[in-house]
Amino acid sequence: GQQVMQIPQYQHVQEGEDFTTYCNSSTTLSNIQWYKQRPGGHPVFLIQLVKSGEVKKQKRLTFQFGEAKKNSSLHITATQTTDVGTYFCAGESGGGADGLTFGKGTHLIIQP
Amino acid sequence: GAVVSQHPSWVICKSGTSVKIECRSLDFQATTMFWYRQFPKQSLMLMATSNEGSKATYEQGVEKDKFLINHASLTLSTLTVTSAHPEDSSFYICSARPRPEAFFGQGTRLTVV
C-alpha cells in the first residue's frame, strides 16, 4: 500500500532559525496536504498542493510539491515560539473520499 | 470552515467496560468519516472508514469486533471500544472531508485503568 515517509522525526531549533521537514511517497500522489498539530490539540489543515512543481507561501511558510509528485517539503523561515508543534504531511493517490495517508510527522521544538 | 465536534474529550474507564465516542459534523453532511488512533509523539493511524448507512471499512490489523463503528446518520458517527483494556489507552480522533482537506474533531483521550 501507499507509504508516506517524513523526516526528520524531531527538530530542535533556536528561535529565529529556519526549519524544514520533508515528505516522500512510495507512489505518485494526486495531491499532498500539510497539517499542524499543536501539543494537546488536533491536526489543523494548512495547505494543499496539487500541481507538479507547485510552490505556495503562507507568510513565513513555504510549501513545495516535487516535479514527480512524490515528494514535498515545508520550510519555515525565522521560526517563532508559536510555530511549536508537529507538522504532518498527508498524501492521497486517488481522488475521492479515501482516507489520507499521513507521514509520521516532524516535531518542531523551539528554544527561546 | 467545516466543524467536526467530538465527544467526550477525555474519558477514564475501568478495564472490561465499553466506551462510546461520538463524532458529529455540525455544519455539513458527511457520508464518510474517518477514525484515527494516535499514540504519544506518533503519527495518525487510520483505523477505519465509517460509511453512512453501511458497514465500516476497517484497516488491516484493526479488530472490528473490538472497535465498533456506527454511522447511522449523515451527521453522526460513533466509535465504541468494547471490553477496553489498558493497551487500548490512546488518543482517538475522527475526521471528515467535506472538501479536499480533512477537518478533525478535537480528539478523545481514553485511559483504561
pLDDT, tens only, B47-102:
999 999 899 999 999 999 999 999 989 999 999 999 999 999 999 999 999 988 99
Between chains, do B49 and A48 touch, taking CB under 8 Å as contact?
A: no
How far is residue B41's CA from residue B55's CA, in Å, rounded to a whole number? 31
Give average pLDDT by consecutive 10-residue segment, chain A, 112 residues.
90 97 95 95 96 97 97 98 96 70 94 86
Q: Residue B12: is its pLDDT beyond 60?
A: yes
Per-residue confidence at B40, pLDDT binned at 50, 70, 90? confident
A42–chain B Cβ distance below 8 A for any pair: yes
The C-alpha of A103 sits at a distance from chain B's nearest C-alpha, in angstroms, of 7
The pLDDT of residue B1 is: 73
Chain A positions touching B43 (Cβ under 8 A) are 88, 102-105
How far is residue B102's CA from residue A35's CA, in Å, rounded to a whole number? 9
Query: Is A95 exposed, middle or buried, given 0-12, 13-18 or 19+ CB atoms closer than 10 A?
Result: exposed
Between chains, do A33 and B101 touch, taking CB under 8 Å as contact?
A: yes
How far is residue B100's CA from residue A48's CA, in Å, rounded to a whole number? 8
Between chains, do B101 and A45 touch, taking CB under 8 Å as contact?
A: yes
A106–chain B Cβ distance below 8 A for any pair: no
A99–chain B Cβ distance below 8 A for any pair: yes
DSSP-based three-state secondary structure for A82? helix
Chain B positions touching A93 (Cβ under 8 A) are none
Percent of chain B with pLDDT over 70: 100
Residue that wins the pLDDT comparison between B40 and A5: A5
The pLDDT of residue A95 is: 55
Residue A22 corresponds to which cell in the numbers above?
A: 520533508
Annotate chain B with DSSP letters as a single string.
---EEEE-SEEEE-TT--EEEEEEESSS--SEEEEEEE-TT--EEEEEEEETTS--EEPTT--TTTEEEEEEETTEEEEEE-S--GGG-EEEEEEE-SSSS-EE---EEEEE-
